[in-house]
Amino acid sequence: MARKKRLDFSDIAAVRQKEDLNQKDFWSRYGVTQSGGSRYESGRNMSKPLAILLWLHRSGKVTDKDLADALK
């Protein structure tokens, strides 16, 4: 039986820091407030839709332009 892959963003703060972005700029791309992003970086569980969006963006299937257009 195939093992289910879990979306793991336990290192999302390191990803953000590597991109040299503050929490507000990083999380606003996904429609998340700075305080919400801070909670996720501290270990709070993300909603499945947000985790999927992050995965799609991090894997290159959704671009920065796609995210910006979606937030308009």
Alpha helices in the chain (DSSP H): 12-18, 23-28, 34-41, 48-58, 64-70
Q: How confident is the model at residue 8 (pLDDT cuts 50, 70, 90)?
A: confident
Task: Note the pLDDT tens digit of each residue in 12-38.
Answer: 999 999 999 999 999 999 999 999 999
Q: Is the pTM here over 0.95, yes or no?
A: no
